């Protein structure tokens, strides 16, 4: 059995409302990024990062990871949205590995059909140039709209 935890992007999960259906489905089914874990995969918990870093960004991600290691996880996944979007991920991973050397670290939770469309969609969500405001399901279900003059 492998106990796993997932850290996801605050912007995607909290700001844009992702319910993490892809991450959870792949963990439950022991698919793709979860396949290599030994035995049954038990998802212990999920937490977001603490939002985009300040000067103490790394300290904040370590605190979030600690919230999961307190429940005895063997492996930590950085969500696929973090892998696609987070400019701080390399630094986070280095610091998490140093602080929690016993953890197996995995970058990703599920594949994307179209990575570029995902990035473009989230950029539009960050900008919110179209009314009414859109959310991550608009990206996932490919109904997101962009300003006409683009
Ligand atoms: S871009 Fe990186 S630091 Fe910013 S909210 Fe997303 S995961 Fe966190």
**Residues 143 and 83 occupy one common structural domain:** no
- Percent of the chain residues past pLDDT 70, beyond the cut: 100
**Residues 84 and 51 occupy one common structural domain:** yes
Number of structural domains found in the chain: 2
What residues contact 36, with CB distance under 8 A and at least 6 apart?
A: none
**Contact indicator for 123, 139 with CB cutoff of 8 Å:** no
Instruction: Give mean pLDDT, residues 127-136.
Output: 95
Per-residue pLDDT band at 11 (split at 50, 70, 90): very high
Structural domain containing residue 100: 2-111
Q: Which residue in 12, 14, 8 sits closest to 26, CA to CA?
A: 8
pTM: 0.95
**Residues 47 and 90 occupy one common structural domain:** yes
The CA-CA-CA angle for residues 58, 55, 91, to 5°, reads: 35
Residue 39 Cα to ligand 1 midpoint, Å, equals 31
Q: Which of 88, 89, 109 to mutate to test the pocket of ligand 1 (most atoms within 8 A of CB)?
A: 88
**Residues 103 and 119 occupy one common structural domain:** no
Residue 38 Cα to ligand 1 midpoint, Å, equals 29
Residue 97 belongs to what H/E stretch? helix 89-99
Pocket of ligand 1 (CB under 6 A): 9-11, 49, 51-53, 82, 85-86, 88
The closest-lying atom of ligand 1 relative to the alpha carbon of residue 82 is 7
SS3 of residue 107 by DSSP: strand
What one-character DSSP code corresponds to residue 37?
S
Note the pLDDT tens digit of each residue in 49-85: 999 988 888 899 999 999 999 999 999 999 999 999 9
**Residues 102 and 121 occupy one common structural domain:** no
Residue 11 Cα to ligand 1 midpoint, Å, equals 6
**Residues 71 and 140 occupy one common structural domain:** no
**Residues 105 and 122 occupy one common structural domain:** no
* Separation CA 41–CA 37 (nearest Å): 7
Q: Which residue in 22, 84, 88 sits closest to 49, CA to CA?
A: 88
**Residues 120 and 52 occupy one common structural domain:** no
Parallel, antiparallel, or unpaired: how do β-strands 41-48 and 2-8 relate? parallel
**Residues 9 and 45 occupy one common structural domain:** yes
**Residues 126 and 88 occupy one common structural domain:** no
Note the pLDDT tens digit of each residue in 88-116: 999 999 999 999 999 999 999 999 989 99
**Residues 75 and 89 occupy one common structural domain:** yes
């Amino acid at each position: 059995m492998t106990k796993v935890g997932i850290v996801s992007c605050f912007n995607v999960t909290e700001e844009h409302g992702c319910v993490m259906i892809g991450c959870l489905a792949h963990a439950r089914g022991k698919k793709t990024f979860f396949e290599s874990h030994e035995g049954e995969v038990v998802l212990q918990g999920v937490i977001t990062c603490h939002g985009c870093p300040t000067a103490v960004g790394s300290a904040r991600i370590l605190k979030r990871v600690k919230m999961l290691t307190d429940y005895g996880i063997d492996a930590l996944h950085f969500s696929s949205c973090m892998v696609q979007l987070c400019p701080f991920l390399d630094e986070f991973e280095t610091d998490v590995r140093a602080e929690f050397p016993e953890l197996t670290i995995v970058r990703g939770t599920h594949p994307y059909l179209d990575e570029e469309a995902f990035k473009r969609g989230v950029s539009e969500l960050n900008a919110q140039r179209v009314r009414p405001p859109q959310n991550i399901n608009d990206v996932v279900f490919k109904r997101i709209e962009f300003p006409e003059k683009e």
